Structure 1
Amino acid sequence: MIHCAKSDRGRVRPNNEDAFYIPEDMNEPLLFIVADGMGGHNAGEVASRLAVEEISSYIKTKYDAKSFQDDVALLIKEAFMAANEKIYKTSLESEEWAGMGTTATLALFKDGKVYIGHVGDSRAYMLRSGHLRQLTKDHSLVWQLMEEGRLTAQEIKYHPMRNVITRALGVDDKVDVDISDYAYKSGDIFLLCSDGLTNMLDDERIKEIILSADSVEAAAERLVQAANNLGGYDNITVELILVD
């Protein structure tokens, strides 16, 4: 795997409430995480950092356990549950952190499959043979309205409530986690990103930028730059993974 990550504050927000994780060495699980925090008084930063720390730590600790060898989905679910519990309990310890939460989207590569775990509206994509496919569905109000046929895909891009999410880590003592898996092959490119990217760039533009770049590092830089050029209204985090 060839991979990179790029996170940027953007041009409007005073701080960066996104957090991410990529493998630190070749002996670690091929795990990638993007989290986008929410909450006042820097609570969003706390929530996203806790999500990344708890999920990555749980998976790395339990990865080789016999109980999870044949059930990667269960491992991911339990990691999300552990993170949700940590964030929720932490939010009760301080008025400043009350109500904080975060999105979390991960990709875990194992035995020829990529497992996607997802809560919130950060996204995972797969680019294969020139086609960009969104692997997650947004846990947001406008996405729900689109599925109900009350909004079109075009209308949700500009809806005034497009940033209202319906599911997040840490806002309740329980959370539902979406988990899916896909076979991957050489040449596939996977993208994890916060909505600071997808609210600025549509899927076609994202695909064009990735395909026109000569490396995943260059592609990540150009994606962040393009989002900033269009206003950079939110924090922008991008992870790209090329299956080599």
Structure 2
Amino acid sequence: MKTILFTHKGKRKINQDYVLVRNLNCDSFLFIVADGMGGYELGEKAAQLVSENILTYLLSVSDINPNHVQKAINKANLAIRQFRENAGIKLGTTIGGAIVTSKEALCFWVGDVKIFHFRDNILQKESHSHTLMNEVIDKGSIVNPEQITKYKHVVTRSVQGELSRSQIDFFKVKLIEGRDKFLICSDGVSDIFNGLQVQQVLNSTKSDVDAINIIENLLIEEAKDNFSLILTNFHQV
């Protein structure tokens, strides 16, 4: 498994993103990007707390499946609720991740952290963000473009202590060695690069390192928000 990552505060004073890469066992890896919610307090604490609680739960189970991922999210929700009640503040995070074995990847998300799957550097699939903009579009409601844009960063699901608002979506990918890549990123990245633009960078550079350097350098110049990214290239564990 070859992995490249970065996390940066961008033009914000504090970096409220959190990135986690860990072995779950000898045959599986966990990759997480969490984006602490800026409208609340201690977004960076929420992102770390949720990521670490998910890791702790998944380390305790032998068979990783979507049901166990949801239970891990539920455990993280309880940790957020307890912290919120003790500290007397609101906090929360969006999250996206992938559990990768030698045969399959399980990609999951709550909120607007994006996950892109590439095969042979061609975009195959991407997560559908839990935002008010997407909900309005999915329902076929007629709204003017300016109004739709305002909804882009209004998340409809997140991990903030309420189980009803933190249901995961997921997709699975059967892996082919050396051909599959996954990019997980906070909205600070996806606001600047969509999946097809990432595909173009991957195909115009000699290596993943060169591609990510180009992406990171442009984000340093243009991103208004924190930005974090994991790119993992599947090879046999």
TM-score by length of 1: 0.85
Q: Show structure 2 runs of 5+ residues with no match.
A: none
Give 1:16 deviation, angstroms: 0.5
Q: 1:111 to 1:75 in 2, by over 3 A?
A: farther
Instruction: Find out whether 1:228 has 2:227 as its counterpart.
Output: no
Number of residue pairs matched by the alignment: 233
- The answer to whether the 8 A contact 1:156-1:162 is kept is no
Alignment of 1:1-244 (within 5 A): 1-10=1-10, 12-23=11-22, 27=26, 29-39=28-38, 42-62=41-61, 64=62, 69=63, 72-95=65-88, 98-110=89-101, 112-150=103-141, 155=145, 159-174=149-164, 175-186=166-177, 187-229=179-221, 231-244=222-235
Provide the secondary structure at the position in 1 that maps to 2:127: coil
SS in 2 for 1:22: strand
Q: For 2:140 and 2:189, how far apart are their aligned partners in 1?
A: 25
3-state DSSP of counterpart to 2:118: strand
Classify the secondary structure of the residue corresponding to 1:16: coil
Counterpart of 2:37, as a letter, is M
Residue 211 (structure 1) shift: 2.5
Deviation by residue 1:138-189 (Cα, 9 ceiling, x = unmatched):
000001112122379xx58971231110000024244312132121212111
- Do the aligned partners of 1:201 and 1:227 also contact (CA within 8 Å) in 2? no
Structure 1 counterpart of 2:32, one-letter code: I
Query: Could you say what secondary structure the match of 1:103 adopts?
Result: strand
Q: Percent identity?
A: 24
Deviation at 1:34, TM superposition (A): 0.6
Please give the alpha-carbon distance, in whole angstroms, between the structure 2 residues aligned to 1:202 and 1:81: 30
SS in structure 2 at match of 1:234: coil
* Matched AA of 1:82: K
Structure-2 separation of matches of 1:216 and 1:157 = 37
Q: Which amino acid aligns with 1:92?
A: E
In the alignment, is the contact (CA less than 8 A) between 2:110 and 2:168 conserved in 1? yes
Q: Secondary structure at the match of 2:22?
A: coil
1:26 to partner: Cα distance: 7.8
Q: CA deviation at 1:48?
A: 0.3
| RMSD (CA atoms) | 2.5
SS across alignment from 1:163:
coil
Going from structure 1 to structure 2, the CA distance change for 1:130 and 1:60 (only over 3 Å counts) comes to same
Whole-angstrom distance in 2 between the partners of 1:151 and 1:211: 37
Tell me the alpha carbon deviations over residues 211-230 of structure 1, each in whole angstroms, 9 at most, x when there is no partner. Answer: 2333333333322222233x
Q: What residue identity is the alignment partner of 1:191?
A: L
Distance 1:112 1:156, change over 3 A: farther
Cα displacement string for residues 58-113 of structure 1 (whole angstroms, at most 9, x for unaligned residues): 11232x3xxxx3x6222211111111111122112223xx2211111110013511
**Partner SS state of residue 13, structure 1:** coil
The question of whether the paired residues in 2 share the 8 Å contact of 1:17 and 1:42 is answered with no
**In 1: Cα distance, 2:206 partner to 2:25 partner:** 24
- Checking the alignment, whether the CA contact within 8 Å between 1:6 and 1:221 is kept in structure 2 is no
- Distance in 2 separating the partners of 1:201 and 1:44: 23
Give the gaps of 5 or more residues in structure 1. none
